[in-house]
Every structure is written in C-alpha cells, then in structure tokens.
Amino acid sequence: MSFDINKIRSDFPILKRKINGSSFIYFDNAATSQKPNIVIDSISDYYKNYNSNIHRGVHTISQEATDAYENARAKVQKHFNVLNSHEIIFTSGTTHSINLVANGFQDLLCDKDEIIISGLEHHSNIVPWQMMSEKNGAKIKIIPINENGELDMKIYDNILNSRTKLVFVNHVSNALGIINPIKTIIEKAHKVNAAVLIDGAQACAHFKTDLQELNADFYTTSAHKLCGPTGIGMLYGKEKWLKKLPPYQGGGEMISDVTFEKTTYAELPHKFEAGTPNVSGAIAFGVALDYLNGIGFENICEYESSLLKYATEKLKLVPNLKIYGESINKTSVISFNIEGIHAYDIGALLDKFGIAVRTGQHCAQPIMDHFGISGTVRVSLSFYNTKKEIDSLYNSLKQTISMLS
C-alpha cells in the first residue's frame, strides 16, 4: 500500500476539529496518539454486539468475546514476533507492566544485588524500582547521559558486574526521542546473567521491533501510544522469567485451584491477568496494530523521518531556538527552548493558535536537571501530521515570540 496522507488523515475524526477558530494541529503524539475510526468503532462494536465476560461462559457471545480477546493477543504476538502467545500479558499499560516486574523482583533480589537504570527514564520507570529497593535493599545504579542526551556507554560498562541482576532502559526516551542502543545493552547484560526490561512505550508507534531478535527478557508498551485505546498495554516476558516471577495481583482468572489452605496459580498468561480484563481495550489494541501494519511501518518510518527533518530545519530558522538531544538516532520528537522565554508561555500561546504541544519536564526531571533547564517545549510528530502543519507551527511560533518579547 502506498502512503496516502489525505486518506490517512480522513481516518482520524479528531483531526477535523477547530480550536479557537483555527484548524486543530496535534503535536503531542508522544503523550498519546489519536485514534482512527476503525479502532473507535471496534470498541462500540464489541459493546453493541458481543460484550460478555471471557474464559468462563459456555454461551455464544462469551465464546466470541474470548476468541476476539485471544485473537488480539495473537496479533500482538505476531507483531512483535514473539515465540509463544502466553509470553504476552495484557496489562493496563507500561506503568502497570513495570510495576508487575518490579514487584516480582522484590522477592528475587536481596541487598547484595544491584539493578541498573538509565538516566533517560520516565518517572514511571524509576519509582517502582525505588519502591522495590526500599523493600529488598537492592542497589540502584544509573547510566548517565552525555551532552547530546545519549547514554554514556563507557559508564554502563563500568557499573555492570556480576552483582547486576536487572537492567532497565527505555527503547526511546520520551523527553528527547533518542533511540537507545538497547541491542548492545542487552548483549552486555546477558554476559553477566542480568535480565533486561525494555520500556517500549515511545518506540512502538514509530517502528516495529522483533522481540526474538532483540532478545530482551521483558518488553513493555501501552496501546494508547500507537493508535489504540487507553487502559491497555502489554508486558512481554520470556517464559522462563514469567514462570519465575510471583503473581502480582490475586483474583479471578489467575488461579487454577483454590481451597482455604492453598491456591494453585493458573498457567501463563492468566497467572498475571487477575480479574475481568479490559476486553474491548485488548480487541481495539489488536485493531490498532492491524491498522498500522496496513499502512506499513517502513512507510511510517520513512514519512516520519522526512517530517522530522523538515521540522528540525524549519525550527532552526527561528532565532535563539535551541534543540535538546540532537542525536541522529531519534524518533520524530523535537524538544526545544527559546532563549529568554519560558516554555509554558510558548505552549499556552500555541494552544491559542490551535496547536497542541507539550511543555514542562515530560516526566523526566533528571534529564532536565542534566541540561540545567526547568523544562522544554516538545513537539512530537506522527504519520498523520503534515509539512503544512509544521509551516503553521513555524508561523504561529514566530507570532508567539513577537508577542512575548
């Protein structure tokens, strides 16, 4: 299929909105993506036609709902080229997935062990490990970043050792969009028998990842970042690890046998899916993957890189504009400041022009501290954005600056 931007834009009803009388321009895609009709409709179709609890009913629609839910798991499995479908756990999203793993490692680690976290992490990636470390005493080491916002791999080599049991890195940083060298990080971690969890929340909307080839022990993402609904995501874990980890929550679905004396846990993946899951969310997640694969990730990548290049060049024409994290290895995110103007003022006025950008720390205070700034304006692009929208951003930004100076 060729890349037809007009057709693609017509798939997203929200793009027709007006804000303050201007055409709505959405450049906050790293926070969450917009949803195509096909995803939105799959949710109402589920509730209109086969809403039912899954895995327990003998009746027709329960079977239909169960099939659709498991079919969605199969789509996720196929998309990420995962060996076994039971290695895909549906969670409420990346935050839930990370907490599930951190909770599991609480019992597996002790105060002699160490874990490594990158200095590019999202808050949700740091806090669960601090909570774990408070309980089991495991030490947290950090891979710092250099002036380009890239991980300092020399320091990684130095802090990685036989006490390291776990390494956590995001695939793509949400504040700067930098793609981390996770393949190398994983290979090195495996040499000392440490497990690796990769946070793919910012990666999956932009490119496809083959998890068998990557060889990460855990990988996680949130559907809402890739045209799917909120409240659903996945945790991939290698079978051997998911078997080792204790269950996170107790409840229905995750048990096979319960007496008052003892409960036997269900097999994977149900061991980690306690209670009635987000059935419509999982189905819509699968539809979102179908939609993106229908467009083709090669096409998405190519189009987004040309947008990024265009936007970067255009923004550099703005006087006194500084871009943070200008790595060549990055997704379509531009984080910037304009000298002498606070990011909040820029965001607030761009909103008046109908342009949605993110301002602030982007849940990544350590990165902001590293650059010695209190925040940035972040423009994050998606395949449904256009060069024309970037031109509008440029024009509105110039007017914004003249109003503010």
Partner 1 sequence: MKIKEIQDEIVEEFSHFEDWKEKYEYLIELGNSIELIDKQNKIDSNLIKGCQSKLWLYAELQNDKIIYTADSEAIITKGIAAILLRVFSNQTAKDILNSDIKYIEAIGLKEHLSPTRANGLVSMIRQIKYYALALNTN
Residues that bind partner 1 (CB under 8 A): 20, 341-345, 348-349, 352, 359-360, 374-375, 403-404
Cite the active site residues. Answer: 363
Closest distance to partner 1 from the beta carbon of 19 (Å) = 11
| Closest to ligand PLP by CB, 93 or 247 | 93
Beta carbon of residue 345, minimum distance to partner 1 (angstroms, whole number): 5
Q: How far is the CB of 95 from ligand PLP (least distance, A)?
A: 3
How many residues in total does the chain contain?
Answer: 405
Q: Which does 94 bind (CB under 5 to 8 A by kind): ligand PLP, partner 1, none?
A: ligand PLP
CA separation, residue 150 to residues 33, 123, 215 (Å): 25, 18, 22
Cβ distance to ligand PLP smaller for residue 66 or 95: 95
Show the tokens assigned to 153. Answer: 């791999």
- 199 is in the binding site of which of ligand PLP, partner 1, none (Cβ under 5 to 8 A by kind)? ligand PLP
How many CB atoms within 10 Å of residue 235? 26
Which of residues 86 and 358 has its CB atom nearest to ligand PLP in the complex? Answer: 358
Instruction: Compute the least distance from the CB of residue 222 to ligand PLP, in Å.
Output: 3
Nearest to 364 by CA among 27, 30, 126: 126
Measured from the CB atom, the residue of 202 and 400 that comes closer to ligand PLP is 202
- Residue 391 Cα distances to 320, 395, 396, angstroms: 18, 6, 9
Q: Which does 348 bind (CB under 5 to 8 A by kind): partner 1, ligand PLP, none?
A: partner 1
CB 141 → ligand PLP: shortest distance, Å?
Answer: 20
Q: Which of 297, 318, 295, 320 is nearest to 390 (CA)?
A: 318
Q: Which does 375 bind (CB under 5 to 8 A by kind): partner 1, ligand PLP, none?
A: partner 1
357: Cβ–Cβ under 8 A, 6 or more apart, which residues?
27, 28, 346, 347, 350, 377, 378, 379
Residue with smaller CB distance to ligand PLP, 77 or 95: 95
- Is the preceding peptide bond at 277 cis, omega within 30 degrees of 0? no
Find out whether 338 and 346 touch, Cβ atoms under 8 Å: yes
Distance CA 76, CA 86 (A): 11
Q: Are 232 and 281 in contact (CB under 8 A)?
A: yes
Shortest Å distance, C-beta 315 to ligand PLP: 22
CA-to-CA distance for 169 and 182, rounded, in angstroms?
7
DSSP 145: B
Record the tokens describing residue 170, joined without a space. Answer: 């995001």
403 binds, among partner 1, ligand PLP, none (CB under 5 to 8 A by kind): partner 1
Q: Which is nearer to ligand PLP, 174 or 382 (CB)?
A: 174
Q: Binding partner of residue 222 among ligand PLP, partner 1, none, CB under 5 to 8 Å per kind?
A: ligand PLP
Report in angstroms how near the CB of residue 358 gets to partner 1 at its nearest: 11
Partner in contact with 93, chosen from partner 1, ligand PLP, none, beta carbon below 5 to 8 Å by kind = ligand PLP
Instruction: List residues near ligand PLP by CB under 6 A.
Output: 93-95, 122, 124-125, 170, 174, 199, 201-202, 222
DSSP per-residue string spanning 321-382: EEEE---SSB-SEEEEEETTB-HHHHHHHHHHTTEE-EEE-TT-HHHHHHHT-S-EEEEE--
Integer CA distances (angstroms), 294 to 49, 287, 289, in order: 25, 10, 8
CB of 224 to partner 1, least distance (A): 18
Nearest Cα to Cα of residue 378 among 324, 304, 317: 324
Q: Which C-beta is closer to partner 1: that of 124 or that of 361?
A: 361
Q: 9 touches which of ligand PLP, partner 1, none (CB within 5 to 8 A by kind)? A: none
Beta carbon nearer to ligand PLP, 289 or 338? 289
Place of tokens 């700067």: 176
In the sheet that holds 114-118, the strands lie side by side as 88-91, 233-237, 218-222, 195-199, 164-170, 114-118, 139-143
